[in-house]
Chain A
Amino acid sequence: MKRSGSDSRPRAVAVALAGLLLGLIAWQFAGQRDPVLLATPVRSFEALAAMVSDGTLPAALLDTGLLFLVGLAAAIVGGVGYGLVLSRSKVLRGSTGWLVFAFQSVPIVALAPLILAAFGFGFGAKTLVVFLSAVFPILINTVEGARHAPKTLLEVARVHRSGEWPLWRDVLIPHTLPYAMSGIRQGIAMAFVGTFIAEFFLQATGIGGLLLSASARFDSATVLGLTVLVSVIAALLMGLGRRLEKAFAPWREGSTE
């Protein structure tokens, strides 16, 4: 399975690139027919280049990146940490477990006005939006993983009179890590969406802010350029997430479990 994966990789890349090229050509033609509504790729690229040279794009990227990273980091710490605690405590699971499942289905966009009212629209409030977007997949995957720790291994720990902390170190955390990593991979995607929700609905800063002001000005070249940039970043992040997921379970390599 692994071999065929590495064999087909160059081809997959070539196919993806061909698709991208086709899309760009179609876009260029469409843009030439209606330049107001749909700027051409060339003009979009020029718009991006202009924002790079006047420093607005790097500053916006930094803003957005910081928001994304802080929110995601908080979601990872909170999701994995609380997930592990939840898996060991029946009381907490009974009292807050259902809340977690109920809360995860609430669209964060709907909560944006509430968060705005409660926490204002500073960095903290925006981070909260990113955190809330990303935390649930991480939390839920972690709980599922930790709760299914193999019974035999828990018995092995008991036979060796393991204390609670060594039990976490030797059994629960290593067993849960791959599950948490799949949660984090999903969390990265959600945090990305959350970052833009925060920038659109709380305070127009960063890339989201640039997008908003450009579309208010009907500057379709900038809007489209930024959109493409954002998609590329998203694709790269997803690739990174998958890499991470694999890297964290070397013992799983080749095993079917």
Chain B
Amino acid sequence: MSLHDRRKATTLTSPGRGGAAVAIDDVTMRFGDRVAASGIRVDVAPGEIVSVVGPSGCGKTTLLRAVAGLLTPSEGSVKVDGEVVDGTPEGVGMVFQHFGLFPWKTVEANVAYPLRLRGLPKEEIAARTRELIGMVGLSGFEKSYPHQLSGGMQQRTGLARALAVRPRVLLMDEPFGALDAQTAEVLRFELLRMWEEHPITMLFVTHSIDEAVLFGDRVVVLKGRPGRVHEVIDVALPHPRDRAVARSEEFAALRERVWSLVMSPDAGQAG
């Protein structure tokens, strides 16, 4: 189906590639005596969006940090395009819950940060920064500092920065969790629209069941302490995922199903 077409799409953000494959293979995360996640196995195909939901403390953010190379699995391995992750792999972008913007840098400088680190020529940095800022709808705010912007605009900046590296994998750490409901809603559909234009692999960690179903090609439900994979649900909703999809009966049914899985008494504990 469309997965194949998506991968073929040659775009600005992902020249000639539809994203990388992510393989989380039997990963256990331990911090001292505490086990945060145990025996997690998730494969993400190139260009696929996999949402990860679960109650607080189920280890979903820990898992995302392992894929980002910020944490090393105690057991098992994480691979991006077949390469074992050891430090953040090239082509992996991350969006942080609390934006992670440098307060002393302007919007422009925050977005240009990854490009500067790569030592690209000045003109190229300027051109790409302008393009990215336009893409997230922040033209005119190039010289603003983060504290002068609303939360939504700060996260737009965070998104532009994550896209600056032309990511093949985008890691989303509850990206809309710190925003008010309306702003989050607007940004969700904008991000989905951008993704339709430049489809790349996405691992989407969230508290929101709506968000998980809306974004995911599949939804992974983590449960228990330590967190384990409780269930994986295929989301056969049509693309593009717009407001009409979010209003459909299929969406509501899937949402109910994920809800009851997340809320059901801990079956994951026994396994």
Contact of A174 with B by CB under 8 A? yes
* Nearest CB of B to A196, in Å: 37
A255: B residues at CB distance < 8 A: 103, 147
Also in contact, A161 and B117, with CB within 8 A (given A156-B96, A251-B145): yes
- What's the minimum C-beta distance from B29 to chain A, rounded to whole angstroms? 16
Interface residues of B in 104-119 (CB under 8 A from A): 104-105, 113-114, 117
Residue numbers in A under 8 Å from B102 (CB-CB): 153, 156, 170-171, 174
A32 within 8 A of B: no
Q: Which residue of A lies closest to B68 (CB)?
A: A159
Q: Is B100 an interface residue (CB 8 A)?
A: yes
- In the complex, how many residues of chain B place their beta carbon closer than 8 angstroms to a beta carbon of chain A? 23
Is A152 a contact of B96 with CB atoms below 8 Å?
yes
Contact A175 B100, beta carbon cutoff 8 Å: no
Interface hit among B48-56, B86-94, B225-233:
B86-94
Tell me whether B104 and A175 are in contact (CB under 8 A). yes
Known: A159-B68, A159-B92. A254 touches B147 (CB 8 A): yes
A148 within 8 A of B: no
With both beta carbons as reference points, the residue of chain B lying nearest to A254 in the complex is identified as: B147
Name the one of A153, A159, A162 contacting B70, with C-beta atoms under 8 angstroms.
A159
Contact of A155 among B70, B87, B105, B114 (CB under 8 A): B70
**B142: min CB distance to chain A, Å:** 15
Chain B contacts of A170 at CB under 8 A? 102, 105, 113
User: Is the beta-carbon distance between A160 and B117 smaller than 8 angstroms?
Assistant: yes
Shortest A169–chain B CB gap in Å is: 10
A164 at interface (Cβ–Cβ under 8 A)? no
Asked if A166 and B117 sit within 8 Å, CB to CB, the answer is yes
List which A155-186 residues lie within 8 A (CB) of chain B.
155-156, 158-163, 166, 170-171, 174-175
A257 on interface, CB distance cutoff 8 Å: yes
- The answer to the question of B98 belonging to the interface, with a C-beta cut-off of 8 Å to chain A, is yes
Q: Is the CB of A160 within 8 A of B88?
A: yes
How far is A163 from B90 in the complex, measured between Cα atoms in Å? 14
Task: Find chain A residues with CB under 8 A from B165 CB.
Answer: 160
Cα A161 to Cα B118 in complex, Å, equals 9
Choose one: A153, A249, A250; the contact of B100 (CB below 8 Å): A153
Verify A251–B70 contact, CB threshold 8 A: no
Decide if A155 touches B117 in the complex (CB within 8 Å): no
- Asked whether, in the complex, the Cβ of B94 is within 8 Å of the Cβ of A162, the reply is no
Q: With both chains docked as a complex, state the minimum distance between the C-beta of A147 and any C-beta of chain B, in angstroms.
A: 18
What's the Cα separation between A174 and B105 when bound, in Å? 9
Give the distance in Å from the alpha carbon of A59 to the alpha carbon of B94 in the complex: 61
- Across-interface contacts of A257 in B (CB, < 8 A): 103
Q: Are B104 and A160 in contact (CB under 8 A)?
A: no
Cβ-closest chain A residue relative to B106: A251
* Contacting residues, chain B, for A158 (C-beta < 8 A): 69-70, 87-88
Q: Which residues of A contact B70 (CB under 8 A)?
A: 155, 158-159
Q: How far is the CB of A149 from chain B (nearest CB, A)?
A: 11
**Chain A, 14-48, contact with B by CB distance < 8 Å: what is the 0/1 string?**
00000000000000000000000000000000000
Q: Which residues of B lie under 8 Å from residue A155 when comparing CB positions?
A: 70, 96, 100
| Known contacts A170-B113, A251-B145, A251-B147; is-contact A161 B104 (Cβ 8 Å) | no
A43 to B147, CA, bound (A): 55
Q: Could you say which of A174, A251, A257 has the most chain B C-beta atoms within 10 Å of its C-beta?
A: A251
Is the CB–CB distance between A251 and B87 below 8 Å?
no
Shortest Cβ distance from residue B165 to the other chain A in the assembled complex, whole angstroms: 7
Q: Can you list 12 A-B contacts (CB < 8 A)?
A: A152-B96, A153-B102, A155-B96, A155-B100, A159-B68, A163-B117, A170-B105, A171-B102, A174-B102, A250-B145, A251-B104, A251-B145
Residues of A within 8 A of B (CB): 152-153, 155-156, 158-163, 166, 170-171, 174-175, 249-252, 254-255, 257
